[in-house]
Amino acid sequence: MNIDIKENFIKYLTDFEYDDEPRAELLSAIEVMLGCKEAVLRLKAHVVRYIEGDLDFDKLTEDAIFAAELSGIHEYHARFIYYTALVPYALPYFEAVGLGRQEWYDSMIDFKWKMNECHAVYGIWGTYTAWFKSFFTADRVAFGRLQFNMFTANISYKSEKMELNEDTPVVTVHIPSDTRTPFSKEQRLASYRRAEKYFSRFFPDGKVIFRCGSWLLSPAHREILPEGSNIRSFLDDFEIVPDSYKSAMGDLWRIFYTKDYNGDPDSLPENTSLMRAYKKYLKEGGEIGLAVGFRAGAEG
């Protein structure tokens, strides 16, 4: 099977419209990696197995790290190259479950958002997370602004609209750091509707329950952020489970893009309105927290 790793990589960067700076850095990295025969052979073997329906993502990650050691490129570059080598061959997995090119594209562009996060935190255009596995099997799918996959409630909850125990099947919601699409009510509703249409087949009564556990659902946003804020309005998308709130200072990087917080809010950047609002909140003794919420169907 003829697989041109470099040609596919260039096409991927072009098709997904990568900017010049990350494109140059990643192309420089792959040129170095291509000089390491063992790294290339291992990657091609993974691509072939994936085409044939056999994905061992843990081994793929392990070999990406080994490729970095062999070739001398950064591990985050190697991970990005190894993972995205599968992208051109992922479409059949989406088609097999009744999805199309748009869902494939919106799912696979997540590499771009994770690359931006990697650069913001570490200064490297690459990726440090193995989060992508479920995209390659079409178990996690992006419908517009949001991403979804089957899950279980993992918590008991009862309201007028729903009654759930820990094992109740639900569709969990993920919010990528998408820079293309506003995090608006309209965009979110469009995503819920598309997801409901697709996932209803997995529910005996066709009634989809959405679940989200995120720092974005922290009730504190009602005091941190002004009315009209998209993040604040996101709280209204879900019924928040009252006793689900907990501290999540580990998510501080999602706002400030630093993994080295020293406990002093004054050390944090204030480049965006969200950073400024959270910095003020932290200085007043607040903390980053998360909560779990449920939504009964696309219309809530």
Q: What is the pLDDT of residues 146-179, one digit of tens each?
A: 999 999 999 999 999 999 999 999 999 999 999 9
pTM: 0.95
| All domains in the chain, ordered by first residue | 5-97 (no CATH), 144-296 (3.40.630.120)
Q: Could you read off the pLDDT of 32-41 as tens digits, one per residue?
A: 999 999 999 9
Residue 204 has pLDDT above 90, yes or no: no
Is 185:230 a contact under the CB 8 Å cutoff?
yes
Number of helical H runs and strand E runs in the chain: 14, 9
Rounded CA separation 232/247 (Å):
18
Provide the mean pLDDT of the chain.
Answer: 96
**Locate tokens 């950073």: which residue?**
275
pLDDT interval class at 68 (50, 70, 90) = very high
pLDDT interval class at 2 (50, 70, 90) = confident
Rounded CA separation 174/211 (Å):
9
Rounded CA separation 253/232 (Å):
19
CA–centroid distance for 103 within its chain: 14
The pair of three-digit structure tokens given for residue 200, joined into one six-digit string: 């209803």
**pLDDT average, residue stretch 277-285:** 96
**Locate tokens 């910095």: which residue?**
279
Is 71:99 a contact under the CB 8 Å cutoff?
no
Q: Residues 6 or more apart from 79 whose CB is under 8 A from it?
A: 61, 64, 65, 68, 126, 127, 128, 130
- Continuous H helices in 123-175: 133-136
Find residue 151's DSSP bridge partners: 170
